[in-house]
Structure 1
Amino acid sequence: MTHSWKLPVIGICVTVSADPSVKISKDVRRTFGFRDLQPGALLKAAVRTQGQLGVTIKVIRVVSVRKEALSKMEHNHEYGQQEAAREGYPHLSGKEFVNCFCKKYKVVPSTPVTRIEFTDV
């Protein structure tokens, strides 16, 4: 059995209670790094606020990991809309999500990122 305090942490930007019975409203996270992450891996989902340490809200299991350019969400409208919603932003189009992501991380849409799909454990 893997002890949760030994698991790697991934920041999950969500607005939820710290109550473990609350379901995370997203199941995809785009990030940099995590190159060696494999499906089936367990991670601690942590919510971080500015100036504070991350608060672990639950353990999640990786379903899939792949590299893809952000621009894929811009060029395929339906895919972009679905992925923005899965990232926790159902009110944004794929293009709007990419614009926000690029502005926050100071990258361009052709930048490859790691797309991590996960589920609750």
Structure 2
Amino acid sequence: MDQVMPWWSGSSESWMDSPRPGWVRPWPTGLNGSPERLIVDLSGMLFCGSAGIGALIQARAKAVGQATEFVLVCSRLVSRPLELAGLLDLFTVRGSVQDVLERLSPE
């Protein structure tokens, strides 16, 4: 079963980099068990800095360890820093949750 998780605390248009402890979590809260696929929706994110990138890498590593596919839904505002850091190829990136779900549904 797929789970779509909003992953940050704050408004739908947020920055994923903050010195406040606990603001960027290394694993989405409310996750039940080990889903087949985790769709992390960061489509409203305006910025992803080093703390956000670190959290994404940690979450992906945990997902891989649980045999959970980690799909990142984001705009270029999030994917570009990953690309510049040479990390984009670690992630399955899609532009919308709808795009992910359409690719999964049988034709």
Structures share fold, TM-score greater than 0.5: no
| Structure with greater helix share of residues | 2
Which has the larger strand fraction?
1
Q: TM-score range by the shorter chain?
A: under 0.3
TM normalised by structure 1 equals 0.23
More RCO (CA 8 Å, sep 6+): 1
Question: Looking at CA atoms only, which structure, 1 or 2, has the larger radius of gyration?
Answer: 1
